[in-house]
Structure 1
Amino acid sequence: MSTSVASRSLSYVADVEHGIRVPVTEISLEDSPGGEPNAPVQVYRTAGAGSDPLVGLPRLRAEWIEARGDTESYAGRERTLLDDGRAAVRRGSASAEWQGERPEPRRGREGRRVTQMHYARRGLITPEMRFVALREGCDVELVRSEIAAGRAILPNNINHPESEPMIIGKAFLVKINANIGNSAVTSSIAEEVDKLQWATQWGADTVMDLSTGDDIHTTREWIIRNSPVPIGTVPIYQALEKVDG
């Protein structure tokens, strides 16, 4: 008996007790004539792909972060045009300033550690860990214990609350990274956000922004505000751009 895909749709699995919903792609299957009905298949995915680039994603984890009471907002260092490189200084602006919401930066309160590893080693189960357990289809204690032992990481920066929790480790699903980034030769901020959205739509679990050309700071801001997955960068590229390459 053969089967074929009838449709794909965004659906959710839920931890009702803790108010957590995790997106999945639900694939309904058709049987060959005379066959028995097949149950739909649920596939790992993010919900954030396809956001309005001008608005960005909702801050999924903001309430979780604030509820722990171990972080605080602060003014931070003001961005300067030099952060965007020599061309931005010559123009007097970045080529496409971010116009969406700018959350206040957060940091750990004095004497507090705010990593998932620290929580796991204290025996605490966070909403991020519960989210991951639903995504991976495993017990939440496996998530906590693997993080505590240093065999897995849950990379959710407190200043990227738009990111949907995910885990990397040998006890969990294999994860795929995608590289994007502009250069001194080509590409624009809009094109980099487009690359991000295509990468996450087709299953990238993490994305590296390897930008080396114009508007490095502003490009990164657009990417982070629109990214449902962890974003990595290479700070030395920005440093070199600020000192004439």
Structure 2
Amino acid sequence: MNYTTQMDAAKQGIITKEMEIVAKKEDKLPEEIRALVADGKVAIPANINHKSLSPEGVGQGLKTKINVNLGISKDCPECDKELDKVRVALEMKAEAIMDLSNYGKTEGMRRRIVEMSTAMLGTVPIYDAVGFYDKELKDITAEEFLAVVEKHGQDGVDFITIHAGLNREAVESVKRNRRLTHIVSRGGSLLFAWMELNHKENPFFEHYDELLDICAKYDMTISLGDALRPGSINDSTDANQIRELITLGELTKRAWEKNVQIIIEGPGHMSLDEIKANMILQKKLCYGAPFYVLGPLVTDIAPGYDHITAAIGGAIAATYGADFLCYVTPAEHLRLPTLDDMKEGIIATKIAAHAADIAKGIKGARDWDNKMSQARADLDWKAMFDLSIDPEKAIRYRAESKPHDDESCTMCGKMCSMRTMKKILNGEDLNMLRD
């Protein structure tokens, strides 16, 4: 049986080995996964050249996945430090890693990640173009941008962020509908600048069919980037954001016609009361394609704590339709994240994803919480640590403040409600004052 992409196979009624793996991970029937992939409701980013990949499904009815961003920059060019982050991210069971390197010759690092990573790998090819060609942005041609995409496909990248929705119409909208924070998407701002400097159409929009052919060749999923995502709560759900979203929906249908899988990227910064409506709107305008969000960050005043503001928004977004959460670290808006920043970002995002899975009724999601609750009722500290989302921190906190009574903690001591109820229900002496 011959097929070019996961979607091509699904439409032919073929269940691929990737679909079987995803079905097992999600506790679903392979046929359920196949049908969802055929309809574009689930994407399985799996480049044919990524041999170490353990495939994941992103989309309707599946567990909420998380992505970890990393990569070198001109100020922090050390590849080894970023590869250490890859190893830790894999240990912490992140489902996706995005290499956002934007300095120098990044091919070597990208290939090393592909070789070592069981998680799906994403990139933003436009970040790589300046270093790849050693040319100023203005001087890169449309053909050269597409050649970088092809290179990432050859290297084994599973999904690529492409800001194809930022066309000339959107550029004029940005000029008419001025924002407080303008364009905060790095890739979006680069394309905006290229279009204005060259007085030309976005090459990824103009040559979209050629882009699709490249992606189909390697079964590379397109993550349609939100170039006009809001960078402040003031700018959310404005004309610019919605106009681009409508275009992304049109590009989604064109991609599916060529059997290229699509993920849609979303906001951004957004107040709590707007999140649900945005999730519904995206799913409607983009025909139920998987939705990938950065945050949303629900307030703009917390530099150093943006992993928390993003987790709050992410939990709500995933409850109402988002399928894929991009992590945010405490270093957001401040610096390149350290390894510890990355860990905090992963934990915060995993909490948000799990909270949403409970709310969405994902099969088995509550079981983890129920086991933890039982361990607490039993005062079984080992089980509590084993079940913790971050066992290392839980063990360290308890060790730093040891209680007189080993059953309880230093917060309540022998007045611990769990201890009291356990002893009384077991017919034991409560013994609160005596040793």
TM range (shorter): 0.5 to 0.7
Deviations 1:192-214 (A, max 9, x none): 21111111211211111000123
Aligned to 1:119: 9
RMSD: 1.5
Aligned to 1:238: 128
Partners of 1:185 and 1:213 within 8 A in 2: no
User: What are the within-5 Å matches in structure 2 for residues 28-39 of structure 1?
Assistant: none
Q: CA deviation at 1:244?
A: 5.0
Aligned to 1:148: 38
Q: CA deviation at 1:175?
A: 0.3
User: What are the within-5 Å matches in structure 2 for residues 64-75 of structure 1?
Assistant: none
Which structure has the larger Rg? 2
- Number of aligned positions between the proteins: 135
Q: CA deviation at 1:158?
A: 0.2
Q: CA deviation at 1:125?
A: 0.8
The 3-state SS of whatever aligns with 2:31 is helix
Q: Distance in 1 between matches of 2:98 and 2:107?
A: 14
Q: Distance in 2 between matches of 1:193 and 1:236?
A: 21
Greater fraction helix: 2
Q: Distance in 2 between matches of 1:165 and 1:183?
A: 29
Q: CA deviation at 1:237?
A: 1.7
Q: CA deviation at 1:215?
A: 3.1
Structure 1 residue ranges without an equivalent (≥5): 1-67, 71-112
Structure 1's consecutive aligned runs of 4 or more residues displaced over 3 angstroms after TM superposition are none
Pick from 80, 99, 106 the counterpart of residue 216 of structure 1. Answer: 106
Alignment-mate amino acid for residue 110 of structure 2: R
Deviations 1:13-66 (A, max 9, x none): xxxxxxxxxxxxxxxxxxxxxxxxxxxxxxxxxxxxxxxxxxxxxxxxxxxxxx
The 3-state SS of whatever aligns with 1:239 is helix
Pick from 64, 74, 98 the counterpart of residue 174 of structure 1. Answer: 64
User: What are the within-5 Å matches in structure 2 for residues 190-229 of structure 1?
Assistant: 190-229=80-119
The 3-state SS of whatever aligns with 1:178 is strand
Deviations 1:175-233 (A, max 9, x none): 00110010001142221211111112112111110001233111111111111111111
Q: Distance in 2 between matches of 1:222 and 1:133?
A: 28
Partners of 1:193 and 1:226 within 8 A in 2: no
Partners of 1:130 and 1:140 within 8 A in 2: yes
Partners of 1:133 and 1:143 within 8 A in 2: yes
Aligned to 1:138: 28
Given the two structures, how large is their TM-score scaled by the length of structure 2? 0.30
Aligned to 1:159: 49
Q: Distance in 2 between matches of 1:186 and 1:164?
A: 30
Partners of 1:180 and 1:195 within 8 A in 2: yes
Alignment-mate amino acid for residue 119 of structure 1: A
Q: Distance in 1 between matches of 2:126 and 2:22?
A: 32
Greater fraction strand: 1
Q: Quote the sequence identity (%).
A: 36
Alignment-mate amino acid for residue 152 of structure 1: V
Alignment-mate amino acid for residue 135 of structure 2: V
Q: Distance in 2 between matches of 1:136 and 1:233?
A: 25
Aligned to 1:104: none
The 3-state SS of whatever aligns with 2:65 is coil
Cα 1:200–1:179 shift into 2, 3 Å: same
Partners of 1:119 and 1:126 within 8 A in 2: yes
Structure 2 residue ranges without an equivalent (≥5): 138-435
Q: Which has the higher contact order (CA 8 A, sep 6+)?
A: 1
